[in-house]
Amino acid sequence: MRSNSIQRVIVIAILALVLVIGLLMLNSQLVKFQPTEKNFLVPWLGMRTYLEFGDDPYGLPATQRAQVLYYGNLAKEKQDPLYLSLPYFTEILFFPIGLVGNYAIARVVWLLLLESCLVGSALVSLSYFDWKANRPLKVLYFLVSVIGTQAVMPLINHSIVIIAFFLFWIGLLCLKRGLDEFSGAALTVALFLKISIWLLLLFVVWWVVRNRRWRVIWGMLMAGGFLIALSILLYPGWFFPYLKALRNELDYFQTISTYSTLTIIWPAIGSKVAGLLTVVVLAFLANEWRLMKPERPRWFLWGISLTIIAMPILGTPILREDLLFLWFPFSFLLFNLDEIIGRRKVSFVTGVILSLVLVSAWFLSLGTRLKLIGSTDVIIKLIMPSFILAVWLYWIRWRNLKSPKNILEMDSLE
């Protein structure tokens, strides 16, 4: 028995090593194909500027270094000036990768980190929901999790949202297993990396307070307080330079929102419709939070899913890669299919859904890039996923009210 276990560990270690080497080679080719990018360059170079020269990462020297590396010269009038738009307590998290002095090597390592977080998110989700499915179906889910457009596009853009998404999964897993302080710390760092998930973290805090799990709050305060205190210690006057840099960079953020999207459709009333939608969704969401039963784990997951679904249509500007968080409600709903349609059909239906999601998302993405699909792609990506997931979510709730199983009341996730 011991020899079999040792052999299994050796095989897994060899496979992991081969995978890492393969990813490093793939990342090297991607870096050669795309010599520069924005999302990683600016925070990495800001940290390098601070480490090498002790200069302000929000200042003109750091910004000009980024411009020269990205454009080959200083930015012209209508070009993105590439100001650092992250608060310094977030920039500190780039310290380890900032120790790598070569930009190409740093990008290869950064991509490997993002890829590891994608793999980790898929594995944690399978563990968190304890999905009782056959191995081929789990493999299919894993593949769609890491090669679907929701994962690949943020990876190509070197987006930090992948790390935030992984830390969010870790926070929920720690919360489930009673590691409350670690849960709070992971969720806080996720929020620091992506402030756009503020509503989601607000729901988690609300739920934690209702269940009196105060150690989660302490974990949040300790992690947040440590990063903020460290940022003040390393660079006491960072706040106002950060606000100035953020203001200068806001016009160049490629964000999407219901306001900008509906204004394209209805120039005269689009913003008013978006404002009304914001008020209605917020009121509806607040009422749903009030009605949820705090002691039931399934209600917690249902509430998280509903909150994530609501986030893209609240009107807050978000980046396209932030839609990666929609993978959580999709996974929650997918893993509950066996309790709705029966175990005989669930494997076939789940496989069809995963295949359709993979193919349709890539078709839409490639169609947009090849200009086969026009500006409506923003509407499809921003509103349609939330609408479909919301219908699916409330269908589960409706079936729960009619079913003797009481799906939302089950304690199988405890």
Residue 54 falls in which region: left (phi positive, over 0), alpha (psi -120 to 50) or beta: left
pLDDT at 409 exceeding the cut of 60: no
pLDDT at 373: 52
Q: How confident is the model at residue 280 (pLDDT cuts 50, 70, 90)?
A: confident
d(CA 60, CA 126): 46
**Residue type for position 179:** L
Task: Report the candidate in 64, 105, 103 with the shortest Cα–Cα distance to residue 84.
Answer: 64
pLDDT at 407: 44
Structural domain tally of the chain? 1
Q: How confident is the model at residue 380 (pLDDT cuts 50, 70, 90)?
A: low
8 within some domain: no
d(CA 111, CA 257): 28
Q: How confident is the model at residue 137 (pLDDT cuts 50, 70, 90)?
A: confident
Higher pLDDT, 341 or 290: 290
Q: Do the Cβ atoms of 200 and 311 come closer than 8 Å?
A: yes
As a whole-number percent, the residues of the chain with pLDDT over 70 amount to 87
Q: What is the 3-state secondary structure (H, E, C) of 103-171?
A: HHHHHHHHHHHHHHHHHHHHHHHHHHHCCCCCHHHHHHHHHHHHHCHHHHHHHHCCCCHHHHHHHHHHH
Separation of first and last alpha carbons in the chain: 32
270 within some domain: yes
Task: Give the number of other CB atoms < 10 A from CB of residue 83.
Answer: 25
Instruction: Read off the pLDDT of residues 68-84 as tens digits, 9 standing for 90 and up.
Output: 888 888 888 788 888 99
Tokens 């939070």 — which residue? Answer: 289
Region 31-55 average pLDDT: 85
pLDDT at 217 exceeding the cut of 90: yes
Region 348-366 average pLDDT: 82
d(CA 98, CA 211): 40
d(CA 97, CA 92): 10
Q: DSSP states of 328-374 as a string?
A: HHHHHHHTTTHHHH-HHHHHHHHHHHHHHHHHHHHHHHHHHHTTSS-
- Both tokens assigned to 60: 């003109």
Region 234-256 average pLDDT: 86
- Both tokens assigned to 25: 């080679």
pLDDT at 190 exceeding the cut of 60: yes
Region 106-111 average pLDDT: 91
pLDDT at 377 exceeding the cut of 60: no
10 within some domain: no
Rg of the Cα atoms in the chain? 22
Distance of CA 213 to the CA centre of its chain: 25
Range of lowest pLDDT (92-96, 210-214, 258-262, 307-311):
258-262
pLDDT at 368: 64
Instruction: Read off the pLDDT of residues 364-375 as tens digits, 9 standing for 90 and up.
Output: 777 666 555 555
- Both tokens assigned to 29: 């080719």
Count of all residues that appear for the chain in the document: 414
d(CA 286, CA 288): 5
Number of H helices, E strands in the chain: 21, 2
d(CA 322, CA 341): 31
**Residue type for position 383:** I
- Both tokens assigned to 139: 């493999």
Helix 198-210 with 214-234: angle, nearest 10 deg: 140
- 79: which DSSP letter? S
When the pLDDT of each residue in the chain is averaged and rounded to a whole number, the result is 82
213 within some domain: yes
pLDDT at 342 exceeding the cut of 70: no
Tokens 């209805």 — which residue? Answer: 266
The residue range of the domain holding 277 is: 34-409
Higher pLDDT, 60 or 379: 60
Cβ contacts of 407 within 8 Å, gap of 6 or more: 298, 336, 339, 340, 396, 399, 400
Instruction: For residue 5, give the H/E element and its range.
Output: helix 2-33
As a whole-number percent, the residues of the chain with pLDDT over 90 amount to 20
pLDDT at 359: 84
pLDDT at 266: 78
389 within some domain: yes
Q: Do the Cβ atoms of 338 and 132 come closer than 8 Å?
A: yes
20 within some domain: no
Distances (CA, A) of 208 to 60, 219, 284: 43, 12, 21
pLDDT at 186 exceeding the cut of 90: yes
176 within some domain: yes
Higher pLDDT, 141 or 385: 141
2 within some domain: no
Q: How confident is the model at residue 412 (pLDDT cuts 50, 70, 90)?
A: very low
